[in-house]
Structure 1
Amino acid sequence: MSFRIRFGAALLTATLASAAFAQTPATKPTRIRGEIVSLDGDTLKVHRRSGDTVSIEVKQAIAVSSVKPMQLSDIKPGSFIGTAATTGTDGKLTATEVVVFPESARGTGEGHYAWDLGPNSSMTNANVDTVVQSTSGRDLTLSYKGGSNVVTVPPNVPVVTIAPAAHSDLTPGKKVFVVATPASQGAYVAQRVVVEKDGVAPPM
């Protein structure tokens, strides 16, 4: 498997709640966002945004990736993206972050579903059909199996793509996004890890 495919698939899997996980509460993944406190062996301690600190087992086989910034203008018709967005009182979607996936990840996790970045938050992984400049940024018409929608991406919204990282990047003070399954005594087992690198924190 190529480096590009491995990291593309890793981040995509990390940012999507699949139906298979949703069917089994015992294995339903938890998305953990916060700041690294320490890494001792395979035990990663993260101070979450909610204020508590959790322990996460990060085995050496677990993929660690990062993100690097892109320009909003880099999103073109034909791009495959994942975007978290909020729904306004007018029913319109406004992006809070955008991940541009490599071609190797096209179609994986495709769809539109609830997300946990805030009230009325959703995630859409879809193909970009059209890009139109608007007074609020750029309006992206997105299509996916079973539907389509329009998401407005304001100029100040982070737009990123996948970049490589390693376990050695899991250092104290770095922002991190982890998808993990609950283990015993309140601990977790990581499935995927996205860590801040070169000053760019994972926005998802």
Structure 2
Amino acid sequence: MPLRSTLRPLIALAMVAASSIAALAQQTSPSRVRGTIESVDGQTLMVKSRSGEEVKLTMAGDIRVVGIVKIALADIKVGSFIGTTTVPGPDGGNNAVEVHVFPEDMRGTGEGSRPYDLRPNSSMTNATVAESVVGNDGHTLLIKYKDGEKKVVVGPDTPVVTYVPAGKPDLKPGAKVIAFMKKLPDGSFETNRISVGRDGLTPPM
């Protein structure tokens, strides 16, 4: 049998396997929904996303809930471990859309820089503040992570927040949340981690 005829079914089989793996990864990979809790019924949350879609979420048994509260720009110190969403500025720099300061017990969470889905062309960088320079238009931070560093401009109106303890009682109608979710084989969605704004705050990340 010609080699080409022998390889053709193997290539077809490989393509089917690859597409099946991709479909499975898409089905089980976690994603985020940002929105407002509309109702709570036992372990089920109904969340209206910022784009207007209604998403039904089942809370996992090991769900982790953290609160988000506003802090001052001056609370970002050299040595702070932060996360920041940035977009390219007109001068080619990195302008912060938001900054969240991690408490010490969350230091090292997601360290590095990667594309992010908050805005077009945005990225998320979790890193340690190495330098902080105060200017007329806010702070310029030099942040360093294990694979590199980045200069970030934080304006005076940029939301700055931190994490505080929270629990399921904070998940009530009207609360603004970011829920990390995954699609289960039956098509439903499950969440095991939710960030909830305290005192009406909308988590900015």
Match of 1:96 in 2: 97
Contact 1:96 1:157 in 2 (8 A): yes
Match of 2:171 in 1: 170
Q: CA deviation at 1:183?
A: 2.3
Match of 1:73 in 2: 74
Q: CA deviation at 1:36?
A: 0.6
Match of 2:87 in 1: 86
Moved more, 145-154 or 176-185: 176-185
What letter matches 2:41 in structure 1?
A: D
| 1:140 and 2:141 matched | yes
* In 1, Cα distance between equivalents of 2:110 and 2:172: 30
SS at match of 1:168: helix
- What is the aligned length? 182
Q: TM-score of the superposition, structure 1-length normalised?
A: 0.84
Contact 1:60 1:167 in 2 (8 A): no
* In 2, Cα distance between equivalents of 1:187 and 1:35: 19
What letter matches 2:201 in structure 1?
A: V
* In 1, Cα distance between equivalents of 2:187 and 2:138: 42
The verdict on how the C-alpha distance between 1:168 and 1:60 changes in structure 2, with shifts beyond 3 A counting, is: farther
SS at match of 2:62: coil
Q: Deviations over 1:134-185 (max 9, x none)?
A: 2321000010011101000111111111112121111111111001111256
Match of 1:7 in 2: none
Q: CA deviation at 1:45?
A: 0.6
Match of 2:28 in 1: 27
* In 1, Cα distance between equivalents of 2:112 and 2:25: 20
SS at match of 1:26: helix
Identity of aligned residues (%): 46
What letter matches 1:169 in structure 2?
A: D
| 1:195 and 2:200 matched | no
Give ranges in structure 1 of 5+ residues lacking alignment: 1-22
Contact 1:54 1:186 in 2 (8 A): no
Match of 1:130 in 2: 131
Contact 1:42 1:57 in 2 (8 A): yes
Match of 1:46 in 2: 47
Q: Deviations over 1:108-143 (max 9, x none)?
A: 211011011111111000000000012321000010
RMSD: 1.6
Contact 2:176 2:200 in 1 (8 A): no
Match of 2:110 in 1: 109
* In 1, Cα distance between equivalents of 2:154 and 2:187: 37
* In 2, Cα distance between equivalents of 1:59 and 1:119: 31
SS at match of 2:199: coil
Match of 1:64 in 2: 65
* In 2, Cα distance between equivalents of 1:51 and 1:185: 23
Q: TM-score of the superposition, structure 2-length normalised?
A: 0.83
Q: CA deviation at 1:82?
A: 0.4
Give ranges in structure 2 of 5+ residues lacking alignment: 1-23
Deviating above 6 A after TM superposition, structure 1's stretches of 4 or more consecutive aligned residues are none
